Structure 1
Amino acid sequence: MATLDPEPPNEPTHPDDAVGQSTNNVLSASAGTAVQVGTLHGGLNFHSPPPELLTGRAALLAEAADRLADAVRSQWRREEARRQVREPVALPVRWRSAANALTDARGALPDVAAGGLGDVARVFRELRFGRLVVLGAPGSGKTVLALRVVLELLGSRADTDPVPVVFSLGSWDPTVIELEDWLVDRLTLDHTGLDAVGPDGKSLAAALVETGRVLPVLDGFDEIAVGLHRDALKGLTTAAVPLVLTSRTEQYEAAASKAWPLSCAAAIELVALTPEDLVGHVPPGGAAAWTPVLDELRAQPRTRAAAVLAEALSTPLMVTLAHTAYGAPPGRDPAELLDPSQFPTPEAIEAHLLADYTLAVYRRPTPGGHRKRWEPERAEHWLGYLARHLTELRTPDLHWWHLGETLGRRSGTAAIVLVSGLLIGLVAVVVETVVRVALPSDDFVLGPSELMALSVFGLLLGILAGSVFGIVNWAAGRFLPAALEPSRVRVRIPPVAGADHAKIAPRLWLGLVVGLVFGVVFAVVRKIPVAPVDGQGWIAGLVRLGVVDTIVYGPLFALGGGIAAALTAWLETPLDPKAAVSPVALLVRSRSNAVFRVLVVVPVFGLVIGAGSGLTCWLAAVALDGTGIFVQWSVTYAIMIGIVAGLGGGIGYVVSATAWGQWLVLARVWLPLTGRMPWAVVAFLRDAHRLGVLRQSGAAYQFRHARLQEHLARTYREARQR
C-alpha cells in the first residue's frame, strides 16, 4: 500500500464537530506512524510490521490471524463455487467511479475511472486510506464483488497483513453498540476459538480488532434498519478504520445527503449489464429458447417490450432468476417476457421472476431422477415464514437458536412450560414404576391405588416443575440472553488447559438456587397424594409431611444442583480454533454439550441425594432413638429419587436455559406442529442452501438476496391475511 500523507488538509470536511478532520488524522497516523499511535485504530498497512514488538502476545495474535484467514478463505471459496462466480459463463461485473457527491475527495481513486471484477483488489491496495464504498442497484453484484476482494486479498496476504472478513451489516444498530464492539461480537460468534482470553484479559477477537489485524468488509449498508443510516454512516466515519462498504446507491446517497459521504473513502458504482453481456450467459440447453429473445434485445432500434426487458435484465440477480424460472420445468418459453400486456414495466418482470424463482428451484429434477423431498408450494410457505421472521427481527442473519422468537416471549415461555412439565412428569412416573416393578418390596408395591398416586404425583410435579423452568426461561431471556446462545465450548473429561474457571462460581450459585426451588417443589408434590394421614385434615397432613421433606430434600437438591453446575463449568474447554463453523456444526456441538450436561447431572444428583439422605436419616434416627419415632429409609428409595431429580433437573435445565433446548422445543416441535416449519428443519435448511435459495455467512444462513427475502416475507403476509 502506498505511504500515506502525514499532513492531511487542515479544513474539516464535515460540519458536525469536525469529525472528518479527526478521521483523516487517525487514518493517516495509523498508516504512517503506526508505532506511535495506540492500537485501537491500527491502520491498514500491507507491507509494514505490526506495531507490537515480537512478544508472546504478538505471536499469539499472529497465529490467531492466520487461522482466521484460513477459515475465511475456506468458507468463501465454497460460497463462490456455489454461486459460480468464476465459471466461464459467469456474468461480467463492471464498475466506474461514483459521482463526486458520494466520494470524499481525500479518498479518490488512484488514476482509474473504471474496471472489472478482477481489478478491485488491486485498486483497493492503492487507496490512500484503505476505505472503499461499493454502490449499485439491487442485485447488481455488490456482494459478489466484495467476496472477490476478500479472496484476492487473502490469496496474496503476507504474514503481517490484516485479514479481510465479511460482516453482514444489517444486524448492526449504531445507536446501541459501537462498530468495533459489534465486530468483536460477530467474530466471536462466527469463528471458533476467538472468544478465548489472552494474557492481557481480552478475547482474541477483541485483540485482533483493536490491533488492526481485521479488515472489515461490511456488506449491506442498505439493510440497516430504516432511520439508522445516518447514525451508521457517522459511526463508520468515527471508527476510523480501513474498510470496504457495500450499499444500494439510493440508501447511501440519502444517508450522505443528510450527513456526508464516508470520510476518506473512495466510491465506485457497479454498471448495468447490456444485452451483449447476456449472449455468453445462456443456461445449458437453453440456447434455442433464449436466442430469439436475445436477438430482439440486441436489435436496433428496440421495441418498447425489448427495452422494458433489457432494463429488467440489467442486473446479475434478475438474469439468474430468469434462467432459473425458465429452466424448470421444461417447456416454458422466455419469449413471454416480451409480452407488453403481461409485463408492461421492468418492475412487473422483476416481480414475476421473484415469484417464480422458489417454485422453479424446488421443481428442478434431482440428479438420478430422485423425487424432491419438499413440495414446492410448502417449501415456499416455510421460506416465507423464515423471511418474515428475519424481517421482524430486522436482520438478514438466520440463526437457528432465534427461530422460535417470532412466537413471542409469552407463547415461547408457555411452550417451554408445557413441554418441560410433560417430560418431567412422564420421567417421574416411568422411573418410579420401573423401580417398583424391578424391586418389589413391602415399601414398593404397585397396585391400582399406587398407580393412581403415581399419576397424580407425575401430573402435579410436571405442572409445578414446568412452571419453575418456565420462569427460569423467561428470566434467562430477560436478564441473561447470553445463556440462550449456542455453546462456544467443548465439555470434556478430564478438562484440558485453557478452561475458563471464572465461570465456576456463578454457575455454582445458579445451580444452588434452581436446585433449592426444584427440591422444595419435589418434596411438597410428593406428599400431596398421602397428605391426609392419621385422621388429620389434608392441609395439616401436607404441612406436617411436606415441611419435613422440604427440610431434608431442599438443601440436598440445592447441593446437587450446585455441584452439577460447577462440575460442568469446570469441564468446559475452549473450542479448537481450527474447528469448522457453520449453522449445522454449531447446532450439533450445542446438542452434544446439552446431552453431556444431562449425563453429568443424573449421577451427581443420585450420589448427593442418596448419600445425603442416608446420612440425614441416620442422624435423625440417632437423635430420635428412644422416642418411639422411627425413621424409614432405603438405598433403593434414595437412588430412585436421585434418578427422578437428576433427569427432571437436567431436562428442565436443557429445555429452559440452553440454546439447543429452546431450538428443540420451539423449532423442532412447536413450529412443525403449527405448520410453520417442516419436521426435518435442519435438512430443509441445508437443502435450501444447497439449492442456492440460502447462502451461508459464518454461523448464520441468509437469503441469497435481500429482494428475495422481501418478496417471500410479503407473500407470506398476504397469504396469512386472506
Structure 2
Amino acid sequence: MSGGWRRFAPWALMAVLTAALAAAWWGGLLDVLDKTAGPVAVLLQLGIFLSGWAVAGRPGGDAGPSGDGLDGSAAKLADAVEAFWADEVAKRGLTREHGLIPIDLRPLGPTGHPAGPDGPDAPLTLDSARSAVDAYSAIGSRCWVILGGPGGGKTLLAALITVGLVHQWKRRAREEDGVPRAPVPVYVSLAGWEPSDRSTLVDWIAAQLEESHAYLTGARALLEAGRVRPILDGLDEIGVPGDRPGSAAETRRLRSEALARIADWAARWDQEDPERPGVVLTGLTGAYRGAVSLTRAGRRRAAIPGARVDEVRPLGLDRLREHAARTVSPGQRDRWASVLRHLEQPVPAAGVLANPLMATLAFEIYDDDRRDPHDLLSYADTASLERHLLSSLVDHAYPDDADAGAADDGGDARPREWLAHLARRMRDEDRNDIRWWELTGRWERILAALVTVLTVGPAAGLGFGLLFHEWLHVYRWADPMWGAAAGALLGAGWGLGLGAAAALKQPPPSRLRFRGARRRRLPQMFRAGALTAIFGGAAGWAFTHDWAGLAAGVAFILPIALVYSAASPDATVQVAHPQRLLRTDRTVAAVFGAAYGVPITLLTAFTVDPLIGVVLGLFCAAAGAFTYGAPWVAAMPSGQAGAVAIVRLWLARVVSRGRLPRDVLGALDDAYRRNVLRRVGPVYEFRHASLRDVLAGPLPPGDGRPEG
C-alpha cells in the first residue's frame, strides 16, 4: 500500500497545484492579492515543478535490455567490434602480410612460474587470428593468461585474439542465421582501474563499453548475462604513480585485488557451459607473479580457475630470418642477411632484436635503402640501442616536417615537440592513454573554473538581479537596490559553485544528437524546461504585472525545453571516434548556446530593455554553450556539472604555450595514421609505454622511478 501511495501522491499534488494556479487566474484571486500575486504564482509553479520531478523520477541510466533485447545489443556490439578491428588489422600488423612476426609461447604453471617438461600444455606458435582462435578454443575453461616482458607482443596478441574471436562470432551468426549465444569479445585496457567495492570488474568493463560504444544500452546487463568475453590487456598497467610515497606497496595491492576479482569473474560461470564468457588476461610476468603471491597470502582465490598460462618467448634467429625473407625490400636483403649473421655472436643487438617490439621497429625503420641496418651493431649496450630504435620511429614516421600534418608553419608545434610534451604529461600521470578531453592539469582546471564563473555568474546575477529589483520596485517591500544586490549575490554563489565543479570534474564529450522531440523523452523535457520556465514566468509577471506577461515568459523559454526533448544519445552503431566526439561536442555547444541565448535575449528585450536583453542573452548563451549547469544536471542521465570538453581542450592548447599543435585532434589522428600512436575507441595511446618514456626524456633529478 505504501509503495502505491508513493507513486500516487506526486500525481495528486501536481494536479492540486495546477488546479490552484488555474483557479487563482480564473477567479481573479491573484488580482485581489495584489502585492503577493507574483510570488504566489512563482511558488505554485515551483510546487508543480517539484511534484513533476517526483513523477518523472530522477534521471538515471537505462536498466538495460533483457530477452530479445540482449540479442539485439550483442549483435550491435559484435558489428561495431568487427568494423573497428577491420581497420586496425593493417595498422597493427595483425597478419603476416602486414608484417606480423610469429610469436612463440611456452606454458607456465598457474602461478606464472615454469611448469617443467611434464606440464599439461604444449608450446604454441601464433601467426594469425585463426591460430589464436584455435589455441583459445582448445582451452576448456575459456581462460587464458599471456605473460611476457616489456615489448613482448602481449597487446598484439590480445588484439589478435579479439579479431579472431569476433570473426568466429560473426561466422556463427551467418551459419545460424541468428544471434549466437556465444559472448562477444571486447578488448579492454586495464590501465587506470583501481579495483574496489565502488569499482568492480563489471563496473570497469561497463564504463569502458559505454565510453567506446555510446549506442549500447544495458552494457551491464550484457556482462551480467555472460554475453561479453573480456580481453583484459595490461595487468601491469594497474597502479599508482611511482613518485607517490608508498606507491610500490599500493600498486602491488591493487594488482592483487584486480587478479582476485578477475578470478572471481571466471569462477562465477558454469564450468561445463561451452558458451561461458571466460577471460583473456595479459601482463608482465613479474607483475602477475607478484599479484598471485600477495593474493595467496591474503587467503583469496590466487589463480584464475582452469586458466592456461603462457609466456612469450624471445624471438630466435630462425624467426628473424624468415621475417626478413618475407618482408624486407630487395635492396636491403643482403644487408639484413649480414646483420643477422652477426647476431649469432653475443652482441647487444642480438638481445634487443629478440624482443618482438624492437624487432618490428628495426625492420620497419631499416626497410629504407638510405639506411644501413649495420648501424644496429654499433651500439655498445642494449639500453642505448632500444632508445635509438624508439626515437628513430618518430623520425621514420615524419621524414620531413614540411610534409607532416603538424609542421611549423607560423609557430605551430613540430611533431617531436608536441609528442614529447604529451609524453611528459602522460609519464608524470603514469598512464599511456590520451583522452583529448582530459589534457588538463592544475592550471587548465583553474582556468576552466574561471571561465565558468565569468559566464554563469553574470548570467545568473544579472537575470535574478533584474527580477528581484523589479519585484521590490513594484511591491515596495524594500529598497529595489537590495534586490539587485541579492541577485548579484545569488549569481556569485551560483557561478562559484559551478566553478568549483569545473575545477574538480572533467565531464566527457557530449554524445547527444538532435532528432526531434519524442514522447518518451517528455520527462527529460519537463525536468529542464520547468526549471527554466519558473524563471521565465516569474520575469514575465514581474515586468508586465499580468497573465499575458507570465504566459509570454513561459513561451519564450519553451525552446530550451524543446531542445532537451529533442536531444538523445547517439545511436550510431560504431566504436566512438575522437574526431566524431569533437564535432558532436561543438554541435551540442552551439545548439544549447542558441537555445539559451536567443529566447532570453528576446524575453528581456520585450520586458525590460533591448540593450540589457542583448547583454544578458550573450552571457546566457556563453553559459549554455560552455558549461553544464543546473538544467543539464536535472534533465540528463548521469549529468555532470562543469566546463564542456571543447573549452578544456582550448584551455590546454593555450596553457601549453605552443607545445601543442593548433589542431590537436588532427595531429593526434595524423600520428595514429603514421603508426606512432594506436587507438582504442575514442582513446589514443602511445604505441608502447617505452616509446612514451623515450620521447619524454630523462626523469627529473630526485624522481624515484626507474628509466623506461
The alignment's TM-score, normalised by the length of structure 2, stands at 0.68
Amino acid at match of 2:189: S
**Cα gap change, 1:213 to 1:406, in 2 (>3 Å):** farther
Amino acid at match of 1:224: I
> Residue 69 of structure 2 aligns with which residue?
60
> Residue 650 of structure 1 aligns with which residue?
621
Pairing 1:496–2:518 present:
yes
Report if the CA contact (8 A) 1:168-1:396 is conserved: no
The offset of 1:56, in angstroms, is 8.5
Comparing 131-140 and 277-286, the one that deviates more: 277-286
**Alpha-carbon distance in 1 for matches of 2:534, 2:427:** 38
> Residue 667 of structure 1 aligns with which residue?
649
Deviation digits for residues 580-623 of structure 1, max 9, x if unmatched? 52111111112111211122223321444355x2xxxxxxxxxx
Pairing 1:319–2:359 present:
yes
Helix, strand or coil at the partner of 1:269: strand
> Residue 19 of structure 2 aligns with which residue?
none
**Alpha-carbon distance in 2 for matches of 1:557, 1:646:** 17
Report if the CA contact (8 A) 2:510-2:584 is conserved: yes
**Alpha-carbon distance in 2 for matches of 1:678, 1:472:** 29
**Alpha-carbon distance in 2 for matches of 1:127, 1:470:** 57
> Residue 16 of structure 1 aligns with which residue?
none
The offset of 1:139, in angstroms, is 1.4
Helix, strand or coil at the partner of 2:311: strand
The offset of 1:137, in angstroms, is 1.6
Deviation digits for residues 649-694 of structure 1, max 9, x if unmatched? 1212322338996443342355246123111112111101111111
Return 5+ residue gaps in structure 1 as ranges: 1-54, 197-203, 429-460, 520-546, 550-554, 614-632
Return 5+ residue gaps in structure 2 as ranges: 1-63, 173-179, 241-250, 269-277, 296-301, 464-486, 545-549, 629-639, 704-708
**Alpha-carbon distance in 1 for matches of 2:68, 2:214:** 18
Helix, strand or coil at the partner of 1:267: strand
Amino acid at match of 2:285: T
Helix, strand or coil at the partner of 1:709: helix
Helix, strand or coil at the partner of 1:170: coil
Report if the CA contact (8 A) 2:582-2:646 is conserved: no
Helix, strand or coil at the partner of 2:151: coil
The offset of 1:648, in angstroms, is 1.6
Pairing 1:349–2:370 present:
no
The offset of 1:275, in angstroms, is 2.4
**Alpha-carbon distance in 2 for matches of 1:516, 1:397:** 47
Helix, strand or coil at the partner of 1:129: coil
Pick from 381, 384, 387 the counterpart of residue 423 of structure 2. 387
The offset of 1:233, in angstroms, is 1.1
Report if the CA contact (8 A) 2:437-2:646 is conserved: no
**Alpha-carbon distance in 1 for matches of 2:556, 2:699:** 45
**Alpha-carbon distance in 2 for matches of 1:559, 1:476:** 30
> Residue 190 of structure 2 aligns with which residue?
169
> Residue 258 of structure 1 aligns with which residue?
294
Pick from 593, 615, 623 the counterpart of residue 598 of structure 1. 593
Helix, strand or coil at the partner of 1:245: strand
Amino acid at match of 2:309: A
> Residue 542 of structure 1 aligns with which residue?
none
**Cα gap change, 1:214 to 1:513, in 2 (>3 Å):** farther
**Cα gap change, 1:490 to 1:298, in 2 (>3 Å):** same
Pick from 433, 457, 464 the counterpart of residue 397 of structure 1. 433
The alignment's TM-score, normalised by the length of structure 1, stands at 0.67
**Alpha-carbon distance in 1 for matches of 2:357, 2:164:** 23
> Residue 458 of structure 1 aligns with which residue?
none
- Quote the sequence identity (%): 28
The offset of 1:476, in angstroms, is 4.7
Deviation digits for residues 280-339 of structure 1, max 9, x if unmatched? 434977555563454343358x4332xx211101122112322344456x6333212212
**Alpha-carbon distance in 1 for matches of 2:367, 2:458:** 49
> Residue 705 of structure 1 aligns with which residue?
688
Amino acid at match of 1:309: A
**Cα gap change, 1:416 to 1:573, in 2 (>3 Å):** closer
Report if the CA contact (8 A) 1:95-1:270 is conserved: yes
Pick from 560, 575, 579 the counterpart of residue 570 of structure 2. 575
The offset of 1:405, in angstroms, is 3.7
The offset of 1:173, in angstroms, is 0.9
The offset of 1:205, in angstroms, is 0.8
**Alpha-carbon distance in 2 for matches of 1:374, 1:415:** 31
The offset of 1:406, in angstroms, is 5.3
**Alpha-carbon distance in 1 for matches of 2:501, 2:381:** 52
> Residue 14 of structure 1 aligns with which residue?
none
**Alpha-carbon distance in 2 for matches of 1:136, 1:561:** 64
Deviation digits for residues 189-236 of structure 1, max 9, x if unmatched? 110222x4xxxxxxx111111101111101111111141211211221
Comparing 245-254 and 351-360, the one that deviates more: 351-360
Aligned 1:118-267 pairs, distance under 5 A: 118=128, 119-157=131-169, 158=172, 159-175=180-196, 176-194=198-216, 196=217, 204-226=218-240, 227=251, 228-240=254-266, 242-259=278-295, 260-267=302-309
Pairing 1:85–2:94 present:
yes
**Alpha-carbon distance in 2 for matches of 1:591, 1:230:** 42
**Cα gap change, 1:125 to 1:76, in 2 (>3 Å):** same
Deviation digits for residues 403-434 of structure 1, max 9, x if unmatched? 1245353344235557x599999xx9xxxxxx
The offset of 1:502, in angstroms, is 4.8
The offset of 1:170, in angstroms, is 0.6
Helix, strand or coil at the partner of 2:239: coil
**Alpha-carbon distance in 1 for matches of 2:418, 2:386:** 22
Pairing 1:281–2:323 present:
yes
**Cα gap change, 1:571 to 1:113, in 2 (>3 Å):** same
Deviation digits for residues 112-145 of structure 1, max 9, x if unmatched? 3323234332232232321111111211211221
Amino acid at match of 1:679: R
Helix, strand or coil at the partner of 1:304: coil
**Alpha-carbon distance in 2 for matches of 1:109, 1:74:** 39
Helix, strand or coil at the partner of 2:195: coil
Helix, strand or coil at the partner of 2:627: helix
Amino acid at match of 1:182: W
Amino acid at match of 2:319: D
Pairing 1:70–2:79 present:
yes
Deviation digits for residues 28-71 of structure 1, max 9, x if unmatched? xxxxxxxxxxxxxxxxxxxxxxxxxxx98311110110010010
> Residue 47 of structure 2 aligns with which residue?
none
Pairing 1:475–2:501 present:
yes
**Cα gap change, 1:56 to 1:187, in 2 (>3 Å):** closer
**Alpha-carbon distance in 2 for matches of 1:327, 1:466:** 63
**Alpha-carbon distance in 1 for matches of 2:488, 2:698:** 40
**Alpha-carbon distance in 2 for matches of 1:513, 1:716:** 56
Report if the CA contact (8 A) 2:405-2:666 is conserved: no
Pairing 1:298–2:364 present:
no
**Alpha-carbon distance in 1 for matches of 2:698, 2:393:** 13
Deviation digits for residues 531-561 of structure 1, max 9, x if unmatched? xxxxxxxxxxxxxxxx999xxxxx9999799
Helix, strand or coil at the partner of 1:404: coil
Helix, strand or coil at the partner of 2:433: coil
